[in-house]
Amino acid sequence: MNHGNPAGHTARTYNMQTVRFTGVAALLFLFALVRVFRPMSDWAYTQWLFSYQYGFVKRGLHGEILHRLGADGSYILIVSLSVLILAGISVLLFRLFLILLTGNQNLPEGGKTLLSSPIQLKVWLFFLLAMFHSATFQMLYFNIGRLEHIHLILTLACLLLMVQGPDTGSEKKGGTVSSRKRSVLFPAVTFTVLVSLLVHEAFYFFFLPVLFMAWIYTDRGTLIYNIMRASLFAGASILTWYIAVYGLMDIDQYYPYMEAMREQYGSRALYSSLMVVFRDTSMNLEYTQHWLLNSPRIPVYILFFLMMMSPGAIFFWKLYRRDFQHSLKALKTLFSSRKITTSESESLLRAAVILSCLSPLCLIPLGFDVFRWFGITFLNLFMMTALLSINNSFRTHLYAITNRYWYLAALAIGLSFLIGGLDAFYSFSSSIHAADWGEIIFRYISS
């Protein structure tokens, strides 16, 4: 009598468990995206209407391209383009996050390995956190049409180009890539930097630092190549300054420009959104300060934000604390004119990569969409953690931390699923409702 193969039966059972788990997670993920998805705001739509018809102006490249192509700039057209960009981001970001599960294997091979293996909490949990977090897909779908989506799709394409192929780098030293790959990557990064800055100058803080640090991490480069990269970064700095200073329209043109835009595009062209091409740095500082000090709901939004985001922030600290400790030790060694070890060098570089993720926070004094800056910071942290996972030893460390602090990751996933995507101005949509109820209760008590 043939009782079958117990080992084979176990393998098939594990396979079906993994498939079912993946299916349920995918359905919950789609539900989360559908729930947070909302139509493009008039603010975001207006940002697509700037062009060079009235002379050089910041954030005008995409509008100028549409104008040269004869596009009418209608709401339906801009929404369609934004949805296409968002779809491209979704594919590329998912592929980057998949490195958390499969390492740097190609997609078919990694997918087969994953689905044929038993479910391991330490392997899956951080991947699910990256997918469900309020600052990743949910934030992107909640804020459709934002100009940083153009930045993001170009940046993701460059990041995946860096990590693809067998010449990404050795396990310990990294930085060994072919001249053929460099000949493709340098023009790709240059194109990304130039286009992104002309689309929105805040790319300099959004994604430029992580793009360059990821580039250095995956390819330490030769002396000549590093000089070229330093020159590109210096050029990006000069271009950002030029756009910020000379990309403004004269204040005397404000009302004629507003009326012309309203006449051409209708009431969806918002005055407040159009104003960004007239405000300089000092005006932005004053505007942000006024908003922070004169909006009674801001403390509620900030408190709600800190409560909801703290589990994820603590998890990242646990994950990278060792690297920062080793980095401090390595810096002391360097100042003592001694040679640092390979592991200290890796930790120092990883710490620099993670610090580059925090660059969007520099915009807090310059723009009142504070939670947008925090959202992009968390998005950068997830993207760079995925990129660092091409290193097997780091991915093993990530699994160990996830296994040890699984409750932080699980809590962050649950909170993100409940509160939805990060908003630009009001932290989460749920915090808006909380502030509304707080105001109602306050008025009731006051009366």
pLDDT in the model for residue 126: 94
pLDDT at 150 (0 to 100): 97
Is pLDDT above 60 for 194? yes
**pLDDT tens figures, 99-153:** 988 776 655 555 555 555 556 777 889 999 999 999 999 999 989 999 999 999 9
Instruction: Name the phi and psi angles at 204, rounded to 5.
Output: -60, -30
Largest alpha-carbon pair distance within the chain? 93
Q: Is the pLDDT of residue 207 over 80?
A: yes
User: Tell me, what's the pLDDT at 171?
Assistant: 41
* pLDDT given at position 430: 57
Task: Indicate whether 174 pLDDT > 50.
Answer: no
In eight-state DSSP terms, residue 81 is H
Could you tell me the pTM of the whole model?
0.87
| For residue 308, pLDDT beyond 50 | yes
In contact, 308 and 418? CB cutoff 8 Å? no
Rg of the chain over all Cα atoms, to the nearest angstrom: 24
Higher pLDDT, 232 or 72: 232
Confidence tier at 268 by pLDDT (50, 70, 90): confident
pLDDT score at 172: 38
Please report, for residues 47, 57, 60, 64, 163, the alpha-carbon distance to residue 54 in angstroms, rounded to integers and kept in the order given. Answer: 15, 8, 10, 11, 42
Count other C-beta atoms under 10 Å from residue 412's C-beta. Answer: 26
Q: What is the 3-state secondary structure of 309-327?
A: HHHHHHHHHHHHHHHHHHH
8 A C-beta contact, residue 203 and residue 236: no
Please give the Cα distance from 67 to 271 (Å, whole number): 21
For residue 355, name the pLDDT band (cuts at 50, 70, 90). Answer: very high
Q: Which residue has the higher pLDDT, 121 or 14?
A: 121
Q: Which tokens is 119 given?
A: 């479910």
CA pair distance 285, 278, nearest whole angstrom: 14
